[in-house]
Amino acid sequence: MFDGLIMFGHSIASFATPTTILYALVATLVGLIIGALPGLTATMGVALMTTMTLTLQPNDAILILICTYVGAIYGGSRSAILLNIPGTPASAASCLDGYALARQGLAGRAMGIATSGSVLGTWIGMLFLATLTPVLGEAALKFGAYEFFWLAVFGVVISGNLTGNDPLKGWIAGFLGLFIATIGQEGLYAHDRFTFGYHDLSGGVALLPALVGAFGFAEVLTVMRDKPRDVILNSFDAVIPRIRDVLQYWRTIIRSGVIGTGIGIIPGVGEDVAAWSSYAAARRASKEKEQFGKGSVEGLMAAETGDNACVPGSVIPVLTLAVPGSAPAAVLLAAMLIHGVQPGPLIMVNSPQFVFDVVAMMLIASIAILIYGLTLTRLLVKILQVPQTLVMPVIFVLCVVGSFALASRVFDIYVMLFFGIVGFLLRRLNYPMAPLVLGIVLGDLLDKNLRRGLVLSDGDLTPFFTRPISVVLFLLIAATILLNIPVFHRTAVGLWTHASASFRRAQRPEQPTSRRPHD
């Protein structure tokens, strides 16, 4: 513990330079603007910023990306409160009470609540990031090829199950991503797969152009198709967060922070699920249930705390397992690999200082959003009035330039355009994008560890089902799939209801039988 505090202090000191602070402030502001503009997601922001940080030192580049990530998740609350449109999917739950407060003339108070919840949520997640990463890093040392294979499958399955309304569509998107990851030369013998004679495909599909297309160009097409909404620009009340709002709902803040961090650790789930889960938990525990959806301070606080706590939580599996906890974290993982950082089970052995560098980056980003939330709210609101017809061409140009800058290949621009069109069509068909991204990121992990495991066992599949951790992951995957099949779901619900009723009956004290006295 003491060593961790020393390393954290060293990380803070290393970032206390004018250049680094300027990087953090500018990146957080860019992220906030991206998050505030409807249709521009945190994933797109981190992907575009990654292409612009290729020449920077690794720590500076990762700091810029984390500040962009945190700023974008926070910035989504601006349009959620003023437009009733979530700036990012993570802010969808904030629309319910944030917009209701704005319609009551309390837009300033709503944004103050969002600011305090975002900062406190990031701090709670940051605390877990500092304490859980070393523990999970040690546990991850027990993972071999067999366990990493099932972990990759688990990430795709659970992501498909928890994102979107139809698990089957989520799984289809996830396994489409896994298929895309197999294009190119395989890892052991360099044999071409699914290249169809095109030499440009031999190196595989580059991750960043694919992500820039799926989240950048696809967003451009989506936003340009939809009609803009009017902004509520009533006179603002005070935007300074009220101490009473924080102290009154301290239980909600802690609960939402823990829930958000926990959901962030689950591979591929993301901030939107964290926000809705925190909101639902707050509503169940609240004494003011009837206020939720009508301008509840507690509801808005829960949603904003939960989605922002998910950001540090989603970085935990990135550092310990090299498995992203969310779509933006997937881009962050790719950026770390590009800049020579090797996340995974050995990170606490090879680069323990880097873990606390990331914790310090989260702290700096949270301070930056606090500063902007208290000082620039009125100015940032004006950004929402910028016509989308002016913003989208700029985003498209950045998508093209960013895709080309990675390897100076025109082919990467074609990859970006292709994935942008595919992403747009998938969204129109209500397919979630997070499983697709996670499938592309985890495909390499799954493929290499499947082949490595088969080589180690001479083609025997038995070790995949007999090692303890492998068995647990396999059973979790099987249970997740079976519980989404109606017959098994109804059976499980029936068994659970019967077991619960039996347990309650067993807990009741036995009533003595009354007998009529004999005459």
Predicted model pTM:
0.81
Asked whether residue 198 is domain-assigned, the answer is yes
Query: 31, 68 in Cβ contact below 8 A?
Result: yes
pLDDT higher than threshold 70 for residue 513: no
Q: How far is CA 376 from CA 29, 126, 370, 373, in A?
A: 10, 25, 10, 6
Asked whether residue 475 is domain-assigned, the answer is no
Q: Which of 1-5, 32-36, 462-466, 507-511 has the lowest mean pLDDT?
A: 507-511
331-361 b/e (C-beta count within 10 Å ≥ 16 → b): bbbbbbebbebebbbebbeeebebbbbbbbb
> How many domains does the structure of the chain reveal?
1
Where helices occur in 37-91 by DSSP H, the ranges are 42-52, 58-83
How many beta carbons lie within 10 A of that of residue 71, not counting itself? 29
Question: Residues 309-341: pLDDT tens digits?
Answer: 999 999 998 898 888 888 888 889 888 888 888
Question: Residues 80-114: pLDDT tens digits?
Answer: 888 777 777 788 888 888 888 888 878 788 888 88
Report d(CA 289, CA 287) in Å as an integer.
Answer: 6
Under 8 Å CB-to-CB from 259, ≥6 apart: which residues? Answer: 274, 277, 278, 281, 306, 309
Q: Determine the pLDDT at residue 440.
A: 84
* Helices 58-83/92-103 angle, 10° precision: 50
Residue 87 dihedral angles phi and psi, to the nearest 5°: -60, -35
> Torsion over CA of 402, 406, 408 and 409, rounded to 10 degrees?
-90
Give the range of the structural domain holding residue 260, as residue numbers without chain letter. 2-466
Asked whether residue 478 is domain-assigned, the answer is no
Query: 170, 272 in Cβ contact below 8 A?
Result: no
Question: Residues 13-35: pLDDT tens digits?
Answer: 888 899 999 999 999 999 998 88
Asked whether residue 397 is domain-assigned, the answer is yes
Report d(CA 49, CA 335) in Å as an integer.
Answer: 10
Comparing CA positions, the residue from 219, 223, 286, 227 lying closest to residue 251 is 286
Asked whether residue 401 is domain-assigned, the answer is yes
Residue 185 dihedral angles phi and psi, to the nearest 5°: -75, 135
Mean pLDDT score, 134-142: 82
Q: Average per-residue pLDDT in the chain?
A: 83
Query: 194, 201 in Cβ contact below 8 A?
Result: yes
Residue 125 dihedral angles phi and psi, to the nearest 5°: -60, -35
Residue 387 dihedral angles phi and psi, to the nearest 5°: -60, 140
Question: Residues 164-198: pLDDT tens digits?
Answer: 678 888 888 888 988 988 888 877 777 888 888 78
How many beta carbons lie within 10 A of that of residue 408, not counting itself? 7
Query: 343, 334 in Cβ contact below 8 A?
Result: no
Q: Determine the pLDDT at residue 90.
A: 80
Residue-wise DSSP of 428-483: HTT--SHHHHHHHHHHHHHHHHHHHHHHHTTT--THHHHSHHHHHHHHHHHHHHHT
* Helices 107-140/297-321 angle, 10° precision: 30
Query: 91, 311 in Cβ contact below 8 A?
Result: no
Asked whether residue 516 is domain-assigned, the answer is no
Kindly indicate the confidence band of residue 229, based on its pLDDT and cuts at 50, 70 and 90.
low
Question: Residues 355-373: pLDDT tens digits?
Answer: 999 999 999 999 999 998 8
pLDDT higher than threshold 80 for residue 231: no
Question: Residues 199-209: pLDDT tens digits?
Answer: 888 888 887 78
Report d(CA 113, CA 98) in Å as an integer.
Answer: 9
Asked whether residue 348 is domain-assigned, the answer is yes
Query: 55, 329 in Cβ contact below 8 A?
Result: no
Asked whether residue 407 is domain-assigned, the answer is yes
Kindly indicate the confidence band of residue 68, based on its pLDDT and cuts at 50, 70 and 90.
very high
One-letter identity of residue 452: R
Q: Which helix (H) or strand (E) covers residue 110, if one does? A: helix 107-140
Residue-wise DSSP of 181-250: HT-EE-TTT--EES-TT-GGGTT---HHHHHHIIIIIHHHHHHHHSPP-----PPP---SPPHHHHHHTH
Residue-wise DSSP of 151-189: HHHHHHHHHHHHSSS-HHHHHHHHHHHHHHHT-EE-TTT
Q: Determine the pLDDT at residue 26.
A: 94
Q: Determine the pLDDT at residue 134.
A: 86
